[in-house]
Structure 1
Amino acid sequence: MFNKKRSLAAGALAVSAAVVLAGCSGGEPEAGATYDPDEKVTLDLAFWGNDVRAELYNEVIAAFNEEYPNITVNSSFLDFPAFWEKRQTEAAGKNLPDVMQFDYSYLRQYAQNGLLLDLEPYLGSVIQTEPLAQNILDIGVVDDTTFAIPTSTNAWGMYTNPVLIEQAGVEEFAGGSWEDYTDWMADVTEASGGSFWGGSDYTGRIQNFELQLRAEGSYLFSEDGEPGFDEERLTEFWESGQRIRDGIGVPQQRVEEILPLSPFDTAIAASELTWDNFGSGYLGNLGEGYTELGLVAPPVTEEGAKDLYLKPSMLHAIAANTEHPEAAATLVDFLINSPQSGEIFGTNRGIPASETALEAADLDPLSQQIADYEASIADRLGDAPPVPIVGFGTLEEKFRLLGTELNFGTITVEDAVSQFFSEMDVVLNQ
């Protein structure tokens, strides 16, 4: 049994120390702060991305200023790792930007340390909630309080390569159990004559384990950081991948040779289970000769189970240290809900979570395919799990590394399970 400590231990995650310092020192805006539409206000906006996304933000800010000429928005961007390194430093000094593009994996840590503004007073008034489904709004909730609003959504799915499937002379995966999927992979691998494989060992991804646990009525981790599985269940999961590791899936040595690309990116695997917003990257990497991909639902563990869920591609949050909370909330609403935002950004940030933004977006064929896919799995969509525990990224990476060792044959399932539970013991602060 794991007893997660309420206080966050320094070292549980790389960013913990800086964030805890800020959380312990206050920085909440004064109660009753109001927004004067005639007052000149300046807001800092930070996001991760590249020059293309930066130009889109500039266009959206220009549209925002047409409606709110009194609010000056100073934007800045970095790549993803550098973005969070800078946030750590700012958090320690209680000087976070007013509005931030936010990642799901950091939400609990920043929220629980008092670094993010409680958005509840602005929901339904400054920040429109009608265009956002309740299960989407719930994604930004930590400890019964809304701290962030999803900008866009994605869901777990299976991409398939129609070119390889045609070459193999097999049909598209028609759905079924995990064993059915393994059988399908075996058919593709055999039919290819050694030139490509049906897929990779899906037991190396913690999300596939989560999918099975959710179908069984359990979870990876509870709100309090309690695991929803034991050693026996993890052993069963990793043992289920042995057939794939015995020759059905891409050999690990081949996987290592093509890094940082994946077997699916390089057309040596006919399928890959992943988040549905990876599609454009796949098409770009596959290159000439690829104009479309297959996108189907993952295998089924239990018929009728609500095992899938919508995850935010990203969110927007407001710093607790902002001096202009209502103006910041006005900007967040525009970035998420406005038709101008949907029209300008399109799917650059993922499929828009807001109906008003989505209706205004011009979806390319792949984006429309993803939107249609998310609509097609509505019957399998359940409530999103709690916001990831502090340290989830560490455990996800450990899971992946152990999966790699299993594929190399350098570790037994028993040892892999033991190592993962030892890592959990450290991360969850027993």
Structure 2
Amino acid sequence: MFTRNGRRRMLAAAAMTGAAALALTGCAGGGNEASAYDPDEEVTLNFTWWGNDDRAQRYQQLIDAFEEEHPNITIDGTFTDFPSYWEKRKTEAAGGGLPDVWQFSDSYLREYAEPGLLLDLGEVADYVDFDAFDDGLKQTGQLEGTQYSLPTGYSAWAVFLNDALIEQAGVEPYEGGTSYEEYDEWMASVTEATGGAVYGGTDMTQRIQTFENVLRARGDNLYTEDGELGFTEDQLRDFWNSGAAARDGVAIPQQKLEEISPISGFGANLTASEGSWSNFLGGYLADSGAESITLVAPPTDDPSGTDLYRQAGLQMAISADTEHPEAAAMWLDYVVNSEKAGEVFGTTLGFPASETKLAGTTLEGVDKQVADYLDSVADRIGDAPPVPVVGYGSLEQTFWDLGKSIGLGAITVDDAVDQFFSEAEVILG
């Protein structure tokens, strides 16, 4: 458990899955209608996030700084990995016990806001600086005009390269922005050069974000404005089949990834490249121990397209039932807006979304790398996609799980497509 003494405990994963748990709490909310805020009252706030040890250490620094400024407020913090995190939240939502403040994702905005599980931040506007965000980023936490969350920063999809492993393999670094086929060929050159001691990368078709980029390059999206899937079974089938070459000895075998989970192949120095969000740079450096990692543009089959976007998915939200809405808002504001947060986190929670947080960020080293990368792909940045459909987080996890099952040879692509659309039909109604 993270308190002033810095101790840590891991949250237990919950067994309950699916969006159905949230339906049980449709009448949630209203628990914050309290008396006037007393700035001297001793308050303890439950706060939780997903991430690795690097993120945990940074949050502890921020918690210590906040508690020093607000000695009457204690932040009781916990963290876990991403899948376990959302399973735990679903269980808490069904039981009415969500944390006071929690690291949030825009993928779940409809799922938690529509049943009344999130506090309308307009109710605590005196404690949160909304003006530090531009409208586009602020809107990523809005649903039908109501502000339910605020972004900590924004990222763009990138390919990470382990410079030392590539040099040891004796191959030229991947230049970025090529076709997907050329990227597969580059991965194959690394795997062949090392005899499989280091693989070129991971099967990119496991990630729904890669599929999203492919769709966006064609003018489509994962989902529509009215809450429907934005792609067909044939499009998904073609996408997963496109990874066959990578899965045939080029990319790291899925079984190896299962053995090292939750560390990624890239973090474990078993792959020379990996696709992920740009804010993962600090975490990858910490996990891998690499002296230097380069960020390059992900592959695309349409160099003139705008497949990328400013992803402000990592956000902060407050439970509608918190007993301390004002204190919770003060902590939320400190995370998303304070110069101290910019100093502590740099770009590891995304490139700072607010002007005040950016003012505290020294753009050098890793943080300057991320800033330079975002500048380098500016021409590929398009409009943000529609607000995610209810259940998108579950669909994202299903996509990933099915992609891993394909990699393990436990399921065919055709069966995976059938399973995905069957689950989507249930989740989307």
- TM-score exceeds 0.5: yes
Q: Percent identity?
A: 46
Say if 2:342 and 2:357, in contact at 8 Å, map to a contact too. yes
Residues 258-273 of structure 1: matches in 2 within 5 Å? 258-273=260-275
Shift of 1:298: 0.6
Structure 1, 291-300 or 393-402: larger mean CA deviation:
393-402
Quote the residue 1:381 is aligned against: 381
Say if 2:308 and 2:380, in contact at 8 Å, map to a contact too. yes
User: Which one-letter code corresponds to 2:109 in the other structure?
Assistant: L
Shift of 1:355: 2.4
Structure 1, 94-103 or 172-181: larger mean CA deviation:
94-103
User: Which one-letter code corresponds to 1:78 in the other structure?
Assistant: T
User: Which one-letter code corresponds to 2:397 in the other structure?
Assistant: E
Distance 1:34 1:257 in 2: 52
Shift of 1:53: 4.4
Quote the residue 1:143 is aligned against: 144
Q: In structure 2, which of residues 61, 66, 69 is the aligned counterpart of residue 61 of structure 1? A: 66
Quote the residue 1:336 is aligned against: 336
Deviation digits for residues 313-357 of structure 1 (CA, Å, limit 9, x no counterpart): 632223334566566545433432222332345456444322221
Structure 1, 34-43 or 135-144: larger mean CA deviation:
34-43
Q: Which has the larger radius of gyration?
A: 1
Quote the residue 2:5 is aligned against: none
Q: Secondary structure at the match of 1:218?
A: coil
Say if 1:182 and 1:244, in contact at 8 Å, map to a contact too. yes
In structure 2, list runs of 5 or more residues that go unmatched.
1-15
Quote the residue 1:9 is aligned against: none
Say if 1:60 and 1:335, in contact at 8 Å, map to a contact too. no
User: Which one-letter code corresponds to 1:22 in the other structure?
Assistant: T
Quote the residue 1:360 is aligned against: 360
Quote the residue 1:189 is aligned against: 191
Residues 12-411 of structure 1: matches in 2 within 5 Å? 14=17, 16=19, 19-27=22-30, 42=43, 44=45, 46-48=47-49, 52-53=57-58, 55-62=60-67, 64-65=69-70, 72-80=72-80, 91=93, 96=98, 98-120=100-122, 127-174=128-175, 175-287=177-289, 290-312=290-312, 314-322=314-322, 328-347=328-347, 349-362=349-362, 365-411=365-411
User: Which one-letter code corresponds to 2:398 in the other structure?
Assistant: K
What is the aligned residue count? 408
Distance 2:61 2:224 in 1: 37
Say if 1:189 and 1:198, in contact at 8 Å, map to a contact too. yes
User: Which one-letter code corresponds to 2:154 in the other structure?
Assistant: T
Distance 1:90 1:410 in 2: 32
Deviation digits for residues 393-427 of structure 1 (CA, Å, limit 9, x no counterpart): 33223322332333344433222222222222222
Distance 1:91 1:190, change over 3 A: closer
Structure 1, 221-230 or 112-121: larger mean CA deviation:
112-121
Q: Secondary structure at the match of 2:227?
A: coil
Shift of 1:54: 5.3
Shift of 1:88: 5.3
Say if 2:152 and 2:314, in contact at 8 Å, map to a contact too. yes
Distance 2:104 2:63 in 1: 18
